[in-house]
Amino acid sequence: MKKELNATIRGLVRGHLLASLMFSLTFYALYRYWEMELSVVTFFPYALLIFILLQGCYFWYYYSKKIAKRPLDYTFNQTIFKLFRLVNGLLFLAYGIYLISGNDKLSTIHVIAVTFYSLFSLVEYINLYYIRLSYTKAQDIKRLVQFKLLKPTRLRREFFLKR
């Protein structure tokens, strides 16, 4: 059981790293081959998404060390994740204000890409810090469909709901 859990957590660490790499390559491809203009409006959602994915990677790394009975400093990590959560919220707010006040002209495909990555960043932020949105077990999905209690995320239970 513990071996299976460790393998799952290592997979989550690798998955978050790979996702951040793939989104970086996607941004590069849009910039290089579709001639997307490099501006705050286009770069910010990608950078924020990668930043949040790397936070998830670090959390699962921390959690794997905890499971292996070689935990990293709890108080330090709690402070780090509280700071990350605050910075993420401020970055979302700043980007929203910039979008409202700015008048950057983008092509339709770039608007679609920026909107997708902005929404994906928001969903990933919620999935990491507040409510678990990714489910694999049929029982969890059934509970979700029946509008029963949504589970708080592992990070939230680890650093924000106890002690």
User: 27-31, 65-69, 83-87, 128-132: which has the highest mean pLDDT?
Assistant: 83-87
pLDDT one-digit tens code per residue, 30-42: 888 877 778 888 8
Q: Is the pLDDT confidence value at 113 over 60? A: yes
Pairwise CA distance, residues 13 & 11, whole Å: 5
**Percentage of the chain exceeding pLDDT 70:** 86
Where are the chain's structural domains? Answer: 2-159
Number of alpha carbons in the 13 Å side-chain half-sphere of residue 89: 8
Residues paired with residue 131 on neighbouring β-strands, in sequence order: 152
Q: Do 101 and 94 form a contact (C-beta atoms < 8 A)?
A: no
Distance (Å) of CA 116 to CA 5, 23, 60, 112, 124: 32, 12, 25, 6, 12
Contact (CB, 8 A) for 113 and 30:
yes
